[in-house]
Amino acid sequence: MNKTEYLKKLTDELGHMPYGDVKDIIQSIEEHFEEGISEGRSEEEIAESLGDPKELAMEFKDGAKFKQIIKKRKMSDNFKGPDGRGRIFVIVFNAFVGIEMWLLFLAAIIAAFMFLAGDCAIIGLIVAGLVAGTLMEYIIPFIFLVLTLICVAVFLIVLLILGIKYYAKGLKSYIRWNKNVWNYGLGED
Amino acid sequence: MEKKDIKLLITGAVALFLACFMAIITIGLFAIKLGGKAMEYDWKGAFSNVTGQVQSLGD
């Protein structure tokens, strides 16, 4: 497959991406072809080294940058089997730091959730007391207390939404990083 | 961080600020109310009762 054919196939595969992104991708691949040709490689060789246009397009759709893809390709080309040190690192790091850290974050999220439940229960009790008339003597301070607790509840809800979202995101990236170190090692000699 | 998250974060920060502000007012209001009660309370009578009880125990 020559450069024109490769770029055409890639453009077809990138079809649903925004025009600006497709333009940038095509430009970076054209530059890659030009660099390769100046080094004396043929268009076919370069196209082959880039791999299947469909797979390349998938990587771009996943949000990867061209430099990252090339780096990954080089890593897998030079890959000589799993790195034992990387696997030991993953086991030791997770045993003493990783798992504890994620459990601690999870405990913080559960604690925030329990605080929220307690907060709502107290609001309910005070409102019930005010409605029943048992707290009428202290009505103004208790109204302010309810308002304070409502603000605390809003803060805790925001904390929980953001906490759960970024916990999930962070955990996903952490697992991906672990997989990478497990399969390819730490990447340094 | 997405724009939506930043909005949420600002909401949380405002809620926390308001909670602190309201908490100070609430503590102040409770202090005024309970202080007033304490002023009205018959401390002398209460203590004289206790003194009487202690004395009767001694006898």
Q: How much is the ipTM here?
A: 0.75
Considering CB atoms only, which of A151, A162, A165 is closest to B19?
A151
- Please return the burial class of A52, using the count of CB atoms within 10 Å of its CB with bins 0-12, 13-18 and 19+: middle
Q: Which residues of A touch B18 (CB under 8 A)?
A: 151
pLDDT tens for the 189 residues of chain A, in order? 888 888 888 888 887 777 888 888 888 888 888 888 888 888 888 888 888 888 888 778 777 778 777 777 777 666 666 667 888 989 999 999 999 999 999 999 999 999 999 999 999 999 999 999 888 888 999 999 999 999 999 999 999 999 999 999 999 989 988 888 887 777 654
pLDDT of amino acid A116: 96
Find the CB nearest B15 among A138, A158, A161: A158
CB contact under 8 A, A151 and B16: yes
Backbone angles phi, psi at A107, to 5 degrees: -60, -40
Domain limits, chain A: 3-78, 84-184
Interface test with B, best of A137, A142, A145 (most B CBs within 10 A): A145
What are the tokens at A128? 């019930």
- pLDDT digit string (tens) for B11-23? 999 999 999 999 9
Q: Which residue of A has its CA nearest to B9?
A: A158
The fraction of chain B above a pLDDT of 90, given in percent, is 51
In angstroms, the CA A109 to CA A131 distance is 33
What's the pLDDT at A189? 46
Question: Model pTM?
Answer: 0.63
A101 secondary structure, DSSP code? H
For A159, the closest of B12, B18, B33 (CB atoms) is B12
pLDDT for residue A149 = 96
**Longest distance between any two alpha carbons in chain A, whole Å:** 91
Ramachandran region of residue A133, left (φ > 0), alpha (ψ -120 to 50) or beta?
left
Question: Cβ distance A123 to A146 under 8 Å?
Answer: yes
Q: Quick one: pLDDT at residue A92? A: 93
Q: What percent of chain B is predicted at pLDDT more than 70?
A: 98
Who's near A16: CB < 8 A, 6+ residues apart? A61
CB contact under 8 A, B19 and A152: yes
pLDDT for the residue numbered A114: 96
Number of Cβ atoms within 10 Å of the Cβ of A76: 10
Task: Look up residue B6 and give its two tokens.
Answer: 């930043």
Give chain B's domain count: 1
Residue among B8, B19, B30 whose CB faces A141 most closely: B30
- For residue B22, the enclosing domain spans 3-58
The CB density around residue B24, as the number of other CB atoms within 10 Å, is 12
- What span, in angstroms and rounded, lies between the C-alpha atoms of A74 and A64? 15
**Chain B partners within 8 Å of A147 (Cβ):** 22
Angle (CA) A70 A179 A85, round 5°: 95
